[in-house]
Structure 1
Amino acid sequence: MKDIFSHLCQNQKSELLEFGGELDHVHLLIDFSPDVAPSKLVNTLKTISSRMIRKEFAEHINKLHINKFYWKPVFWTGAYCVISAGGAPLEVLKQYIQNQEEPE
């Protein structure tokens, strides 16, 4: 997933600086151009990553669906949170993300 997000960010005039997360969400530290709308970037990341992950792991996702663990018809929810780092040291932000549990 990290590779997917990194590649997609590059295509959107952005750079994925840090990746981490928990079982039900991810944390991304992204440096993006001022002319990139955060909502459009998030939409692109969710849409394309969902398509790629569903394609690559279709058999696994179908098994999860049968077992009622993965029962939603969508990969990501519509919700997201964007926080501006506005001057916070990048090392502090990276450390926060690294301290989160790794997504499965």
Structure 2
Amino acid sequence: HILFRSVPNIDLSKAINSYKSVSSRFVKRDFPRVKQYLWKEMFWSRSYCLLTTGGAPIETIRKYIESQGK
């Protein structure tokens, strides 16, 4: 999960793909051993899921994200 705030007029698909591209390069640069565990050098999958919070308090969303995988 990644929590972020955005302005209404941003192209979210471009923003998400840019984030995935840049973060992938940083991880591969800073942790070169990770490359041996990747499939075809792909750090991220091509897909993503984007959900809005519907005005829920940010702390509620943060706690939900932190509880995932426990």
Pairwise TM-score range, normalised by the shorter structure: 0.7 to 0.9
- How much has 1:101 moved relative to structure 2? 3.7
Q: Higher helix fraction: Structure 1 or Structure 2?
A: 2
Superposition TM-score, scaled by structure 1 size:
0.60
Give the counterpart letter for 1:80 in structure 2: Y
Superposition TM-score, scaled by structure 2 size:
0.84
Q: Higher strand fraction: Structure 1 or Structure 2?
A: 1
Higher relative contact order (CA 8 A, sep 6+): 1
**Which residue matches 1:83?**
51
Cα distance in 1, alignment partners of residues 65 and 54 from structure 2: 17
Structure 1 runs of 4+ aligned residues shifted over 4 Å read none
Cα distance in 2, alignment partners of residues 91 and 71 from structure 1: 34
Gaps (5+ residues) in structure 2?
none
Cα distance in 2, alignment partners of residues 29 and 56 from structure 1: 23
**Which residue matches 1:29?**
3
Aligned residues: CA RMSD: 1.7
SS in 2 for 1:28: coil
Give the counterpart letter for 2:22 in structure 1: I
SS in 1 for 2:68: coil
